[in-house]
Amino acid sequence: MEDWHNVDFVKSWDESASRGNPSRENQLSLLITLLSERCQSGDTILDLGIGSAQVEERLFLKRADVNIVGIDHSSAMLEIARERLRKTTLRNTQCVLYHHELADIDTLGFSHNAFSHVIAVQTLHHLEPETQKQIYGRVFDLVKNNGLFLLMDRVNIDGPKLNSVYAATWNWLENQSAIKSGWSGQYFLERLASQHDYPLSVETTVSWLEEAGFQAACLDLTLNRALYVGIKG
Ligand SMILES: C[S@@+](CC[C@H](N)C(=O)[O-])C[C@H]1O[C@@H](n2cnc3c(N)ncnc32)[C@H](O)[C@@H]1O
């Protein structure tokens, strides 16, 4: 069970974020490429669920001239983020971290069009579906015209008849992965079934992004992990 408020769990997650998640490296690489090519110097990016700021550490290797506003409800994750950002941020960029619940993002008082781009990596599936949908709407309001919402998240693969195919696909991914989890396909499925979170289907995600006002697409889908983009304007 993931406990983002437990210091030991959080430390171990930070040390092995890609273990059991063979597509994280590829999808992050694409997300950072798209974001860094699109950013202008001085842009401010909102990160929903910034965690330990692993995404920013990579982004700053390509774009050291952007500002970050990060929100997360885990003080343990934010503590690691502060340390990481202290080492990787240049003096003329700003990183502001909010210890805050994403469901209550409205109470932070951000203004309309406040952010150049918004990202959310492996976070929103922790929130109930209706809240995820509301957040898509808030993001549309918060991002500037032509801004991107890059959303990388778990996908609901719920189809018992396909379980043997999903398990075989997991085994194939595990074989190719540089970072081995040691999990069998069967264990991968059991682990998924025991998680108390709310991944959406690709279809639901894209259609809710569109309902929020974005032009949206799924850019990459690997078994139960996807990278989506929404563009405003
Ligand atoms: C899997 S970690 C991802 C961290 C980071 N985005 C990354 O990919 O490196 C998920 C993060 O979402 C945060 N989170 C989960 N539910 C949240 C909520 N309801 N409000 C704020 N943060 C939340 C957790 O504390 C955790 O830091």
Span 113-167, pLDDT tens digits: 999 999 999 999 999 999 999 999 999 999 999 999 999 999 999 888 999 999 9
81 lines ligand 1 (CB under 6 A): no
55 lines ligand 1 (CB under 6 A): yes
131 domain residue, yes or no: yes
The candidate with the shortest Cα–Cα distance to 221, out of 152, 149, 136, is: 152
73 lines ligand 1 (CB under 6 A): yes
CATH number of the domain bearing residue 109 = 3.40.50.150
Q: What letter represents residue 71's amino acid?
A: I
Domain count across the chain: 1
Q: How far is the CA of 161 from the centre of ligand 1 (A)?
A: 31
Q: How far is the CA of 50 from the centre of ligand 1 (A)?
A: 6
Please tell me the distance from the alpha carbon of residue 183 to that of residue 49, in angstroms, as a whole number.
26
1 domain residue, yes or no: no
Q: What is the pLDDT of residue 26?
A: 96
Query: In this model, does residue 88 exceed pLDDT 90?
Result: no
21 lines ligand 1 (CB under 6 A): no
Q: What is the pLDDT of residue 92?
A: 74
The candidate with the shortest Cα–Cα distance to 21, out of 153, 193, 203, 161, is: 153
207 domain residue, yes or no: yes
74 lines ligand 1 (CB under 6 A): yes
196 domain residue, yes or no: yes
Pick the atom of ligand 1 nearest to 5's CA: 25
